[in-house]
């Protein structure tokens, strides 16, 4: 039985063809072979004709294999063109892309003043205040050399790679260790820029347009996972644009959102700050994080370069990213209600009474329909100057409802500028009030707005 249902693709001889003297399968029908062969075999003219036909057919097939059939045209041409990209070609592109970027990827060593045994073996409260501290390696990460000027080379890495560092070192692809200076860092975007001596550095990574990435596109990660210098992993772009919640304080409370590229290539400890590379050998992202949960594999994230480079330029120019600053330490109202429920339950367990005294200590005095907002724990700077106080509950900035610290940050950073004024609507003692605050410039890394 044929693999095809259509007789056009079948090698079977139809009944009609047999009844018609097999005219479709023999040159000239009955006796046709005799007329072509003659009495002594094929004539020279016939041999020449057949030879010419075979040569012409071979030339057409060879031309098609080299240049592609119907490459500029319709449906079947497109299929042949895609099939013409061999796995060998893709493998060679991966090798070439990695070779272009790999020399520009460095290892980053975060060194901190720590007691003997390191901070991870003994809580700070249990340390002897007179104990001698020494400079020790606290963590490892990766970085990418992206610029060389005035005898210096600049490196992009993650904020969390150099966080709390007393000294930073960069290990080049050659194995040479160089002192690195932190030019600037930004916790919100998890980016930092370092500077090292540029002598002998020949390779600077090319920056690509991450907006051109497509789902399913092959990408490479280059970094320093688990302390293994310049390791390569490969995967695909699972999602070219993904918005994920981020806990800036690493306390499980999401207070920011980050746009990232989701990839299937593994990102292990030490890979943060390394390069996400397309098959053209361009850096399209900075590896940042992964989902570290039981049973989860191949879910990594990188910061897209079209978002990273404006931040990098500001870090190079100013050492920080200027943002509008309201000046409040906050707690989400929803989180406050959850704490109240827990304290009531705990009080009931301890006292054997329903609710205890927790409800009586609630002095927010909010209307029953107010369920979302931001509680001011402390007002400083512009907010204090405008009159905001402890336990004020912010529910709106200008005409934008505010239900969480994340929403407050997103509105300020996305819609306002330094020096502009913002109208703050808040509840105090159960009464809705408004105040106008002039936004200042925030230049530190404090967890406040």
pLDDT tens sequence for the chain (449 residues): 333 233 322 333 344 444 444 434 333 333 333 433 444 455 555 555 566 665 666 665 655 555 554 444 433 333 333 445 566 788 999 999 999 999 999 999 999 998 876 555 555 556 666 778 889 999 999 999 999 999 999 999 999 999 999 999 999 999 999 999 999 999 999 999 999 999 999 999 999 999 999 999 999 999 987 777 788 999 999 999 999 988 887 777 888 999 999 999 888 778 899 999 999 999 999 999 765 544 445 688 999 999 999 999 999 999 999 999 999 999 999 999 888 877 777 766 565 554 444 444 456 889 989 999 999 999 999 999 999 999 999 999 999 999 999 999 999 999 999 999 999 999 999 999 999 999 999 765 444 56
C-alpha 301/C-alpha 269 separation (Å) is 13
Q: Is 155 helix (H, G, I), strand (E, B) or coil?
A: strand
Strand partners, 441: 324
CA distance 302 to 202: 26
Can you read off the two tokens belonging to residue 25? 């399968």
Catalytic one of 190, 255, 332, 392: 190
Of residues 107, 139, 142, 160, which has the active-site annotation? 160
- Report pLDDT for 301: 93
222, 275 in Cβ contact below 8 A?
yes
Q: For residue 10, indicate whether it is catalytic.
A: no
| Residue whose structure tokens are 């500077």 | 195
Among residues 352, 381, 378, 370, the alpha carbon closest in space to that of 425 is found at 370
Task: Yes or no: say if 7 and 14 are a contact pair by the CB < 8 Å rule.
Answer: yes
* β-bridge partners, 424: 397, 435
Q: Is 392 a catalytic residue?
A: no
Catalytic residue, chosen from 210, 238, 240, 272, is 272
- pLDDT score at 128: 65
Instruction: State the CB neighbour count (10 A cutoff) for residue 410.
Output: 15
Task: Name the strand (E) or helix (H) holding 91.
Answer: helix 87-101
Which pLDDT score, from 0 to 100, does residue 37 have? Answer: 40
Active-site residue, 164 included: no
pLDDT for 369 equals 92
| Residue reference for tokens 């070779």 | 99
Under 8 Å CB-to-CB from 82, ≥6 apart: which residues? none
pLDDT of residue 320: 95
CA atoms within 13 A on the CB side of 376: 23
By residue count, the chain amounts to: 449
pLDDT at 65: 54
Report field, pTM of the whole predicted structure over 0.75: no
Let me know: does 66 contact 58? Beta carbons within 8 Å.
no
């Amino acid at each position: 039985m044929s693999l095809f249902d259509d007789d056009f693709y079948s090698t079977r001889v139809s009944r009609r063809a047999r009844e018609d003297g097999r005219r479709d399968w023999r040159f000239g029908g009955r006796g046709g072979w005799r007329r072509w062969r003659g009495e002594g075999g094929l004539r020279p003219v016939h041999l020449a004709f057949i030879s010419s036909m075979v040569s012409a057919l071979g030339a057409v097939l060879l031309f098609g294999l080299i240049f592609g059939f119907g490459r500029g045209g319709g449906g079947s041409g497109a299929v042949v063109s895609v099939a013409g990209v061999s796995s060998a070609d893709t493998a060679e592109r991966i090798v070439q892309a990695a070779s272009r970027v790999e020399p520009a990827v460095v290892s980053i060593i975060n060194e901190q003043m720590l007691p003997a045994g390191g901070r991870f073996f003994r809580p700070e409260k249990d340390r002897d205040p007179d104990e001698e501290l020494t400079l020790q390696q606290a963590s490892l990460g990766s970085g990418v050399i992206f610029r060389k000027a005035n005898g210096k080379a600049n490196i992009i890495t993650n904020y969390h790679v150099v966080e709390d560092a007393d000294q930073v070192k960069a290990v080049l692809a050659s194995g040479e260790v160089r002192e690195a200076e932190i030019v600037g860092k930004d916790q919100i975007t998890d980016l930092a820029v370092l500077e090292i001596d540029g002598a002998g550095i020949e390779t600077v990574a090319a920056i690509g347009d991450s907006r051109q990435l497509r789902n399913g596109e092959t990408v490479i990660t280059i970094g320093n996972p688990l302390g293994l210098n310049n390791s390569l992993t490969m995967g695909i772009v699972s999602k070219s644009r993904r918005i994920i919640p981020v806990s800036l304080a690493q306390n499980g409370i999401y207070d920011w959102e980050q746009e990232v590229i989701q990839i299937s290539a593994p990102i292990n400890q030490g890979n943060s700050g390394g390069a996400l590379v397309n098959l053209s050998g361009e850096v399209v992202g900075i590896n940042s994080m992964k989902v570290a949960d039981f049973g989860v594999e191949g879910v990594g994230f990188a910061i897209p370069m079209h978002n990273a480079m404006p931040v990098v330029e500001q870090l190079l120019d100013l050492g920080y990213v200027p943002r509008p600053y309201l000046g409040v330490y906050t707690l989400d109202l929803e989180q406050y209600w959850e704490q109240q429920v827990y304290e009531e339950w705990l009080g009931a367990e301890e006292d054997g009474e329903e609710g205890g005294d927790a409800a009586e200590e609630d002095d927010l005095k909010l209307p029953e329909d107010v369920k979302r907002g931001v509680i001011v724990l402390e007002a400083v700077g512009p907010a204090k100057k405008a009159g905001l106080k402890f336990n004020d509950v912010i529910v709106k900035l200008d005409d934008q409802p505010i239900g969480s610290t994340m929403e407050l940050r997103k509105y300020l950073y996305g819609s306002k500028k330094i020096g502009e004024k913002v109208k703050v609507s808040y509840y105090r003692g159960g009464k809705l009030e408004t105040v106008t605050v002039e936004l200042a410039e925030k230049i530190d890394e404090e967890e406040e707005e």
